[in-house]
Amino acid sequence: MTHQQSNTPASSGALRLFVAIHLPEEVKIAIAATQQELRKLLPPQSASWTRPENMHLTMRFLGNVDAVRLDELQQRLRIAIAEFGAVELICERLGCFPDLRFPRVVWAWVHDAEDRLQSLSQRVESAVSPYAEKPGEERFTGHVTIARCKRISRSAAQTLAKFVEQAAARQFGAWNATEVELIQSELSSTGSRYTTVARFDLREAKG
């Protein structure tokens, strides 16, 4: 699942929000190193690149949410994921949406051995869908976006595909995710700026 980087700003009194899981610094560093390898292979105009400090695992992109609904949204999300428990996540390999022939997004895969991340995404979806601008995707794919392809030529796409295929064994790290964050995205001429609005402990009791 990926969210659209729309240039539509939040209207007055609205916050542009998404739900995500934070990445440890060592995982960001490992992904960024691979990202730099790929950047050297592609023409500069081929893609825009995610800054390491902005790398995260998006659970659900909401879009513009009226600020007066923020408390209600946070309460629903807190209840939905309480007592879910920590998730042992793994970040490895690369992929492209929609596919290698026509790449729009380049990403690093995030998953867990027990497929609990999929269950967590369903809880998040049930809590936040009434506040989202668009329906959620049918099947959640855990990933970290590392680039968005723009004016990519056929030869550059072939270079990208070869790199992604050769990165099948890349390991970026593993960690114990204990929190889900509600994050505000503010658009500017220099890119998106992210601010954590609230954190929700997956180990928190419902009571």
pLDDT score of 12: 56
- The ranges assigned to domains in the chain are 14-201
Does domain 14-201 fall under CATH 3.90.1140.10? My reply is yes
Whether the full predicted model's pTM is greater than 0.85, yes or no, is yes
The dihedrals phi and psi of 20, each to the nearest 5 degrees, come to -150, 165
Taking 60 as the threshold, does the pLDDT of residue 2 lie above it?
no
Q: To the nearest whole number, what is the mean pLDDT of the chain?
A: 92
pLDDT score of 188: 80
Residue recorded with tokens 């609230």? 198
pLDDT score of 9: 46
Task: Please give the residue that has the higher pLDDT: either 175 or 11.
Answer: 175
- Is 177 in contact with 84 (CB distance < 8 Å)? no
pLDDT score of 13: 87
